[in-house]
Amino acid sequence: MFDFWYALGASIVKPAILEKVDTSIFTLVPIVRFAEFDSTGAAMVDPQNLDQTVLGKIDKNGCLVLRKTLQDQLVSFQTPVCLSVYTASKFAQFKAVPSFAFEHVIGVCHTALMAAAASTGLPWNGNLSMHFVAALGLLLVDSDVTAILTGFGANPASAEAADFFAEFPLQGAEKAALVKIASDQNFSDSRETFTLGGQTPTSNGNWDHCGHVRTGIYANAERVLY
């Protein structure tokens, strides 16, 4: 998952990366549903079974091309990581499905990053550490990390924060900037939009309905995203 976090963080640093994501390689497909019938033989339909799905099919060759395209976008970063086809396919899905509001979310997060950079002296020449970029992406998808970092702001001696910074050894302006971003309300609101898929209470979610976000490979080698 590290490359996935890193790619999300890189997109927040450089939103233009999303311009390279080809959504034509992702096709929404219907979910197979089971019907129930009452004693009269009438079908009983659960309203939640009528909602938009985020399930889709990825073109295999297109995904390989996208993976290379995204990889090429990371050359300006200090320590680019090797991206997986999983990460490339998820980016196509995120951009293709309107309920993720992916480009809008990344834009809001970029604004929060710029504000944090201005107030903490974070260098803005692409010379950001691998750990900072990955932690930034992780912050977008994990509310627990937000809680840890906002707790660190109030209590630097927090054991949870110590564990986090042992895994992501940030120093100076990078640590200060990440803590500041975690407390940015617009960033947090955007995370909620993204991780809930922008769904209404009667809709099928994605991150909170885990069956819709796994990746499977069928015998015919078509990658399918849920």
Cα 176 from Cα 94, distance rounded (Å): 29
DSSP string covering 176-204, please?
HHHHHHHT-HHHHHHHHHHHTTT--TTS-
Q: Measure the CA–CA gap between 132 and 138, rounded to whole angstroms.
A: 10
The Cα 133–Cα 10 span in angstroms is 6
- Which parts of the chain register pLDDT below 70? 30-38, 43-53, 125-126, 153-154, 197-226
Residue pair 48/204 in contact by the 8 Å Cβ criterion: yes
**Rounded Cα distance, 191 and 201, in Å:** 17
At residue 35, the pLDDT reads 56
pLDDT of residue 64: 94
- Residues 143-157 have pLDDT tens digits of 888 888 888 766 777
Nearest alpha-carbon partner for 21 in 97, 82, 75, 77? 97
3-state secondary structure of 215: strand
pLDDT of residue 215: 31
Give pLDDT, residue 32: 55
The dihedral region occupied by 20, where left means phi > 0, alpha psi between -120 and 50, and beta the remainder, is: alpha
Spatial neighbors of 199 by CB under 8 A, at least 6 apart, are 51, 52, 99, 205, 206
Q: What is the pLDDT of residue 36?
A: 62
What DSSP designation does 80 have? Answer: P
- What per-residue confidence (pLDDT) applies to 43? 63
The pLDDT of residue 100 is 87
